[in-house]
Amino acid sequence: MASDYRQEARDDYQIALDTIKKLWVEVSGVKYPEIQRQLEDILLRNPEYRDHFLHQFQVFLLGAYIIDKLYDHKEKCITEFKESYECGIENAWLLASTYHDFNYSIQEYDFWIKEFFSHALSISQNTKCSLSPLNLDVAFIRENFLLKTQEICEVLNLKMNDIVMNFFYEEATTERNHGLLSALSLLKLFENTTQNKINHSGLIQAAVAIALHDESIWKAFSGRGENDDSEWNRNFAEETFLKNQEFKKYPLAFLLIFCDTVQEWGRVGKNYRESKPRLEDVTLGSNEILLTLSVGDDNPYERKTHEIHRVAKFLKDQRFAIELKSRASGKNTKIPMAGV
């Protein structure tokens, strides 16, 4: 694919969609649903939105490259993933990475549904404000999403008490958290499809990675919830169910957060013209996985530095690090995922 890229007639979105569709059928026997790509153009009308569809594909490519190198270095948790879950980690990675933002459109529902009605019916701005509120409570109960939440909790060794159930219920129905909803809908998608290529335990690992990847979720798990959060969030965060995420224990979830954090290049939308991000280098050795990202000047450099430091307090494996550079001033910092 890379060798043919410069001669490609298709745009990047079509290349990504065609490749993902082909790989999904080959790996899982399940057709990749195209609705996310179809909604992306509507979502990009919002100046506060940035690309999530092509971003997923870039995350997949980056993580697949890292996994290949870790196989070469005989990384134990990579080579033993198939033995543990009867599913190659690269196959579970395909599902987790290319689906992790699938339901971002639901989180952004208020914007895109108003845009749709505005263009379909030529309605006024005042009417747009009162259109179609989204009620996920009924779907959450009728479609038995609570049982799928329980499957995710079992992998994370969480007991389904009131604190845990309230957290997941509110994150799904009130906050419409795209990570949790994407994880649940992935399980739902495979439940409704006959396939025998992906073992269910491997599928659950992919769903867990997706559920944990969003910062608002993993911060609550690590006990770092915001002080002004609602009671259900504070109660959950106080338990500190997962202070750190170690690569050796949850390699798929760790890798998704790591690659998701660094992937900025080509991600059009909010702040893209200002930050001008570039992937400068990838260094993959037996004792170091270093991704080097540069941005245009010091403003996006400072924003991204704060974000990487937050992630580095949760992820714990110092072999993994992100180096960030400002091309304008020459500032640079290397931040290992030290878990502190």
Concatenated DSSP letters for 174-215? TS--HHHHHHHHHHHHHHTS--SSS-HHHHHHHHHHHHH-SH
SS3 category, 268:
coil
User: What's the number of CA atoms in the CB half-sphere (13 Å) around residue 38?
Assistant: 5
Q: Is residue 5 part of a domain?
A: no
In the DSSP assignment, the letter for residue 5 is G
pLDDT of residue 227: 60
The CA angle 163-165-167, to the nearest 5 degrees, is 70
One domain, residues 206 and 298: no
Q: Which amino acid is at 155?
A: V
Are residues 277 and 216 located together in one domain of the fold? Answer: no
Amino acid in position 178: H
pLDDT at res. 311? 98
Cα separation, 335 vs 325, in Å, equals 11
Does residue 189 share a domain with residue 58? yes
Rounded to an integer, what distance in angstroms lies between the CA atom of residue 80 and that of residue 239?
31
User: Residue 119: its pLDDT value, please?
Assistant: 66
- As a whole number of angstroms, the distance between CA 325 and CA 328 comes to 9
Residues 307 and 202 in one domain: no
The conformation of residue 50, written as its DSSP 8-state character, comes to B
Distances 320 to 241, 256, 286 between C-alpha atoms, Å: 23, 13, 11
CA dihedral of residues 260, 263, 266, 271 (deg, nearest 10): 80
Per the DSSP assignment, residues forming a β-bridge with 324 are 293, 333
Are 278 and 205 found together in one domain? no
Tokens of 54: 């092509």
Same domain, 230 and 279: no
Greatest Cα-to-Cα distance within the chain, rounded to the nearest angstrom: 61
Element (H, E) at 76: helix 76-79
Question: For the chain, what is the domain count?
Answer: 2
- On whether both 261 and 321 belong to a single domain, the answer is no
Determine the angle formed by the axes of helices 251-262 and 298-314, rounding to 10 degrees: 170
Q: Model's pTM, two decimal places?
A: 0.92
- Per the structure block, which two tokens stand in for 167? 């957290």
Is residue 156 domain-shared with residue 281, that is, in the same domain? no
pLDDT at 82: 93
Q: Which of 249, 265, 281 is the last residue of a domain?
A: 265
Low-confidence residues of the chain, pLDDT below 70? 112, 119-120, 123-133, 141-142, 226-228
Whole-number pLDDT of residue 126:
63
Domain that holds residue 332: 271-340
pLDDT of 132: 57
